[in-house]
Amino acid sequence: MLDFLEVDRAFLAENEARILDLETQIAGLEHTISVLRAARQPVQDRVDSYKYPVLTLPNEIVAEIFIRFLPTYPSPHPLTGTHSPTCLTHVCRQWREIAHTTPALWRVIDLTRPTEQYNAEKIAALVNLWSGRSGCCPMAVHLTDGNEPRSVFPAVSHHRARWEHLTLDLNTTEYLDAIQGSFPSLKTLTVHFSSLVRDAPVVSFQDLPLLHTALLNDLHMVHIVLPWSQLTSLVLMCINSEHCMSVLQQTSQLVRCELHLWRPQKDLTEGSVHLLHLETLAFQMDTFIDVNFFRSFVTPALLYLRLPEALLGSLEPQPDPVESLTSFILKSGCQLRKLKIADASVSEDEYRDAFPSIADISTGKYNDYEWE
């Protein structure tokens, strides 16, 4: 019996020693693993940084890259899809958080693109979401009268105090009353109507203290009233000379003006339009314009002039375009720096010889150049 107990004790002692040895080895291995893991981490960090370098950029840099991904403000971009800031939120959680907290990504609302997949309620919700994400940023809004405008316009108009640029691409003036009101931050206004309603009411946009730029087409211009006297830049599309003159006589502060002339008025009243601050004047002409039209301008500060030569050549009794331009310059007393003449019959060299004081003179087709 005693021998059996002795053997049992010896067995236990041997195994306890073995266990102690194994635990010592395990502790040593665990220490080695811990050391290796500590050494591995900086190597892994370096590998990760090379594999995903964009994730190591500061959030401010990533946000700036996101902003440059979009068209330059205030140009429009879609609310959804590949070219929308929403696609940036689908890459990873970090990008989503950065995009959602970058107000400049959400400051342009474009409702002029087809959105058949959304009803008016969803569009309104999307507009409110974007407006909220844009924070306190000034906004650019592009509206059309598609997509059930009566339901959508109120949601957009709720944020009108931050509208800086407004584009209205409408079929008629029918929906203008849905967005009338004060626009304390509005700087540029573009209005285009595609059809004519003869009995359309006059819509007055008067509470626009910062408005300085307007682009209008002729179809409904007589139905819109703007604070013309504060504008410094004006583009009139498809305008007839009669409507053009009535507006220009009210725009005493213009610095830049572009006129796309159409539907001439043969009985235009003699007179002058004095634009004392005008520096840039550009014409595009689809049809013959009355002889008195170009004569009516007096622009002493004019620096840049772009026009079709036909507008000069039609000025009887001075049919020669060089003489007509000379008469215009002398009457205005301006010091032109740049002259661009479309569809010229007189050579570029002849114009340069006739006007040596003008540093930049060029001729060509109308679509061959634009203002820099």
Give the Cα separation of 212 and 43 in Å (integer).
Answer: 58
Tally of structural domains, the chain:
1
248 pLDDT more than 60: yes
Query: Residue 60: inside a domain, yes or no?
Result: no
More confident residue, 46 or 300: 300
Instruction: Enter the DSSP assignment of 166.
Output: E
Query: Residue 234: inside a domain, yes or no?
Result: yes
Q: Which domain holds residue 236?
A: 227-372
Spell out a b/e string for 301-322, using b for 16 or more CB atoms within 10 Å of the CB, else e: ebbbbbbbbbbbbbbeebeebb
281 pLDDT more than 90: yes
193 pLDDT more than 80: no
Query: Residue 357: inside a domain, yes or no?
Result: yes
- pLDDT score for 83: 85
Say if residues 288 and 264 touch (Cβ distance below 8 Å).
yes
- pLDDT score for 372: 46
Q: Which of 14-23, 166-175, 187-196 has the lowest mean pLDDT?
A: 166-175
More confident residue, 149 or 307: 307
- pLDDT score for 309: 83
Q: Give the global pTM.
A: 0.76
Say if residues 150 and 123 touch (Cβ distance below 8 Å).
no
Sign of the Cα pseudo-torsion (114, 120, 123, 127, in order): positive
Query: Residue 181: inside a domain, yes or no?
Result: no
Give the Cα separation of 266 and 259 in Å (integer).
Answer: 18
What is the Cα 339 distance to its own chain's centre? 28
Helix (H) or strand (E) holding 306: strand 304-308
Query: Residue 255: inside a domain, yes or no?
Result: yes
Question: Which residues have a Cβ under 8 Å from the Cβ of 111 and sit 6 or more positions away?
Answer: 79, 123, 127, 141, 142, 143, 144, 147, 152, 156
More confident residue, 285 or 148: 285
Mean pLDDT of 180-209: 77
- What secondary structure, in 3-state letters, does 226-274 show? CCHHHCCEEEEEEECHHHHHHHHCCCCCCCEEEEEECCCCCCCCCCCEE
268 pLDDT more than 60: no
Q: What is the CATH classification number for the domain harbouring 353?
A: 3.80.10
Mean pLDDT of 51-73: 87
Q: Across all residues in the chain, what is the average pLDDT?
A: 81
Give the Cα separation of 341 and 318 in Å (integer).
Answer: 18
Query: Residue 360: inside a domain, yes or no?
Result: yes
Instruction: Specify the pairing of strand 203-204 against strand 233-239.
Output: unpaired
Which residue's entry shows tokens 């502060």? 253
Beta bridge pairs of residue 285: 261
DSSP H helix total and E strand total for the chain: 10, 15
Which residue's entry shows tokens 């500061």? 58
What long-range pairs does 225-233 form, CB within 8 A, spacing at least 24? Answer: 226/189, 229/253, 232/256, 232/277, 233/257
Query: Residue 23: inside a domain, yes or no?
Result: no
pLDDT digits (tens, 9 = 90+) for 81-125: 888 899 999 988 889 999 999 999 999 988 876 555 667 777 778
Query: Residue 35: inside a domain, yes or no?
Result: no
- pLDDT score for 110: 87
More confident residue, 241 or 322: 322
- pLDDT score for 258: 92
- Burial bucket for residue 5 (CB in 10 Å: 0-12, 13-18, 19+): exposed
**Residue 196's pLDDT band (boundaries 50, 70, 90)?**
low
More confident residue, 23 or 148: 23
- Burial bucket for residue 259 (CB in 10 Å: 0-12, 13-18, 19+): buried
- Burial bucket for residue 325 (CB in 10 Å: 0-12, 13-18, 19+): buried
Instruction: Specify the pairing of strand 233-239 against strand 224-225.
Output: unpaired
273 pLDDT more than 50: yes
Highest mean pLDDT: which of 51-55, 289-293, 347-351?
347-351
